[in-house]
A = this chain, B = another copy of it.
Amino acid sequence: MTSVKQPATMVNAFDPARLGDLDAETRGMIERRMRLLGPAYRLFYEQPLRVERGSGPFLYDQNGVEYLDAYNNVASVGHANPRVAAAIAGQAARLATHTRYVQEPILRYAESILPSFGGRLAEDGHIMFTCTGSEANDLALRIAQHRTGRDGIIITSEAYHGNSQLTAGCSPSLGRRAPLGPWVRQVPTPDSYRLPRETMVPWFVEQVARQIDDLERHGNGIAAFICDSIFSSDGIYDDPVGLLAPVADLVRSRGGVFIADEVQAGFGRTGTAFWGYRRHGVDPDMVTMGKPMGNGFPVAAVAVRPDIIAGFGCDMRYFNTFGGNAVAIAAAQATLDVLRDDALSENAERVGNHIRAGFARLRHRFPVIGDIRGAGLYVGVEMVTDPASRQPDGALAARIVNGLRDRHILISATGFHANTLKIRPPLVFTTENADRLLDQTEALLDALAG
């Protein structure tokens, strides 16, 4: 199998070698950007997009041209949501200080979100605030290592867990030149398209067991298994549900903790279970969350069981200057209120199913659509050269991503071969928005086939 994803590059990244293909104004801005921001920044699409305004599921460029945003999973309650914007504006004009003073709103937010976690976290869990999902995962892993006195971390083969040294070391999807941590071990992606469904659960548990053995053989064993329950960067896998509960049991029986990384799957994204791990019926030791938590305001968190954090809290206070500050909490509360008042996890489930049903119809006409996966408004559509060989077709996925961009619809691709279309619009996406996405995809596939 060939891969279109090179070691140091990124799925759907603009290639600076093609600057000459762009119009003069865009080229000038990108050259200026490279000079000012340096070489570690990437842009999306063969023709990078300039954005100036957003509203609901739409982005607008400098000329006011509308793009249907089927990709941004941060603006869950819609770009520039007025309730969230008003909450931020009101609090920014009042106070923006930190958690070493007593403040009421952070307590109210904690009380409103903790019950949603279910299981033991709903009973007596704590919530700790950071600014980013990376910080949340970094903190959760530090807590796990302190709790267990061990170093080992098990992740999936194409995981992404963040950009700090610790979490980048747990993020093979950053490319082969980005070093993994010395005590990080990978288990294969639970590829429901290629592996037999009936043996998937025992097979996956066995993979985890082998890596625990390896961590015990080489070092001091497992501190944590951390997993995004929708397997976003592995290629988006929603099935079989029930995959993770026996993994959590195994991990605990070997002395580790189970961390549900809900930065991508959480807050209703994957449907009415609200949290991705709850689809799988697992009761995690810690849950991390971020991206849509403040609809774009930098706020993230770790939910943790009291027995897991007790020792860390005694030995090693945690303080994050902006984490859970007054404006962050106002943004998070407004976002959560809108999610609930507008029943957006239900909308995600309904519209997500509509999108998957639409692609299932398209598959009859286009057999290069190999598999359709996902839960709620996290949709994966795997492109293959032909359905018999199931050979990944990353080049075709790239043509679709860029072809849709030219048709003013924004998606991306994911997975090791970058051949799975990644569709994860704001949760305010309607069936009409979905039909526009489906119609344009069909027209594009016709044009590409023609």
A residues touching B (Cβ–Cβ < 8 Å)? Answer: 8, 10, 13, 26, 29-30, 32-33, 35-44, 48-54, 59, 72, 74-75, 79-80, 82, 84-85, 88-89, 92-104, 106-107, 110-111, 114, 124, 126-128, 131-135, 138-139, 141-142, 163-166, 168, 174-175, 177-178, 290-291, 295-299, 304, 306, 309-310, 312-323, 325, 327-328
- Residue among A10, A72, A165, A320 having the largest count of chain B Cβ atoms under 10 Å: A165
- Check A313 against B74 for contact (C-beta < 8 Å): no
Check B82 against A327 for contact (C-beta < 8 Å): no
A103 to B8 Cα, complex, angstroms: 24
> A183 → chain B, closest Cβ, in Å?
12
Checking B80, B82, B128 against A95 with a beta-carbon cut-off of 8 angstroms, the contacting residue is B80
Decide yes or no: A296 and B74 within 8 Å by CB, A39-B309, A102-B50, A103-B52 being known contacts: no
Out of B30, B44, B101, B318, name the residue touching A100 (CB < 8 Å). B44
What B residues does A316 contact at CB under 8 A? 8, 40, 168, 174-175, 177-178
Cα distance, A54 to B315, chains bound together (Å): 33
A165 and B163 contact, CB distance less than 8 A: no
- The answer, among B50, B138, B327, for a CB contact under 8 Å with A165, is B138
Q: Is the CB of A51 within 8 A of B101?
A: yes
User: Can you spell out 18 A-B residue pairs with CB atoms less than 8 angstroms apart?
Assistant: A8-B316, A36-B111, A37-B99, A38-B304, A41-B128, A54-B94, A75-B96, A79-B96, A80-B96, A85-B93, A88-B88, A89-B92, A132-B320, A164-B166, A165-B165, A175-B317, A290-B321, A296-B327
Distance in angstroms from A224 CB to nearest chain B CB is: 12
A31 CB to nearest B CB, Å: 11
Complex-state Cα separation, A126 to B39, whole angstroms: 9
Contact present for B101 and A41 (CB under 8 Å):
no
Cβ contact within 8 Å between A95 and B135:
no
Among residues of B, the one whose C-beta sits closest to the C-beta of A325 is: B296
- Of B89, B131, B168, B319, the residue contacting A298 (CB under 8 A) is B131
Residues of B within 8 A of A54 (CB): 94-97
This chain: how many copies in the complex?
2
A360 to chain B, nearest CB (A): 30
In the complex, which residues of chain B have a beta carbon less than 8 angstroms from the beta carbon of A298?
Answer: 131, 297-299, 322-323, 325, 328
Closest B residue to A313 by CB, please name it: B39
Are A313 and B111 closer than 8 Å at their CB atoms? no
Q: Are A43 and B102 in contact (CB under 8 A)?
A: yes
Q: How far is the CB of A153 from chain B (nearest CB, A)?
A: 11
Query: Which of the listed residues A30, A103, A310, A315 has the most CB atoms from chain B within 10 Å of its own CB?
Result: A315
Is the beta-carbon distance between B135 and A313 smaller than 8 angstroms?
Answer: no
The one of B88, B101, B141 that contacts A43, using a Cβ cutoff of 8 Å = B101
On whether A82 and B75 interact (CB within 8 A), knowing A316-B177, A318-B40, A327-B297, the answer reads no
Chain B proximity of A355: nearest CB distance (Å):
22
Which of these, B133, B177, B317, contacts A321 with CB under 8 Å? B133
What's the minimum C-beta distance from A259 to chain B, rounded to whole angstroms?
14
- Docked Cα-Cα span, A183 to B135, in Å, equals 22
Contact check: which of B35, B49, B128 meets A102 at CB < 8 Å?
B49
Tell me which of A96, A168, A304 has the highest count of chain B C-beta atoms within 10 A of its own C-beta.
A96
Question: Could you tell me if A321 and B291 are in contact, using CB atoms closer than 8 angstroms?
Answer: yes
Q: With A29-B104, A102-B49 as given contacts, are A37 and B89 in contact (CB-CB < 8 Å)? A: no
Residue of B nearest to A29 (CB): B102
Which of B8, B37, B80 is in CB contact (< 8 Å) with A94?
B80
Give the chain B neighbours of A92 by CB distance below 8 A.
Answer: 80, 84-85, 88-89, 296-297
A74 contacts which chain B residues (CB < 8 A)? Answer: 96-98, 321-322
Complex CA gap A102/B44 in Å reads 9
Specify which chain B residues have a CB less than 8 angstroms from the CB of A96 in the assembled complex. 54, 74-75, 79-80, 295-297
Q: Is the CB of B82 within 8 A of A97?
A: no
With contacts A53-B95, A106-B37 taken as known, whether A42 is within 8 angstroms of B128 at the C-beta atoms is no
A259 to B20, CA, bound (A): 36
> Do B26 and A102 touch (CB < 8 A)?
yes
- Quote the shortest CB–CB distance from A48 to chain B (angstroms): 5
A393 → chain B closest CB, angstroms: 24
Task: Write the nearest CB–CB distance from A84 to chain B, whole angstroms.
Answer: 7
